[in-house]
Amino acid sequence: MSSFGLGPFAPNTLSQSILPGWGAFNMTVNYQGSPDIETEVVRDVASFGRQIGWLSELVLELCKIHPPQGAAKDAEVKLREAAKRIKAIKERREESARIEATEALERFRKEHPQRYALFLRDKAAELQAAESKGKPV
């Protein structure tokens, strides 16, 4: 008899994965080659999204030089629309991150004014050092 009181129609125990594969570093790679190579490429070179982004930029620039015809034209339209939507998502997320950072810094300033002043001095020094070396900040 089951612990749920439903006789033979219910399991004795019940376990279920909630959000399987969810997490900061989980990724499923459906690749016929070497998964180890793909993992290293994504970790050390560029994510799949970044790689696709580069290819999309290249293809769309080539479409300006050699306008596609027929089905290829439809694919170009879809790719341009996808690129616009992706850009809008990135801009929205960037603005959201900027607002969150500004709010966090304001809380830090109010709650820890001396540490905030030190933080700003450190960041200003980092910025000046990077600029003097011609590095992006």
The model's pLDDT over 44-67, given as tens digits with 9 standing for 90+, comes to 999 999 999 999 999 999 999 999
Q: At 47, which amino acid appears?
A: S
Q: How many structural domains does the chain have?
A: 1
Distance CA 73, CA 59 (A): 12
12 Cβ contact list (under 8 Å, min separation 6):
2, 3
Identify the pLDDT of residue 9. Answer: 60
SS3 assignment, position 92 = helix
Where in the sequence is the domain holding 111, given as residue range(s)?
Answer: 30-132
Please indicate, yes or no, if residue 116 is contained in any of the structural domains: yes
* 71 φ, ψ (degrees, to nearest 5): -65, -30
Identify the pLDDT of residue 129. Answer: 93
Band of the pLDDT at 2, cuts 50, 70, 90? very low
Count other Cβ atoms within 10 Å, centred on residue 19: 7
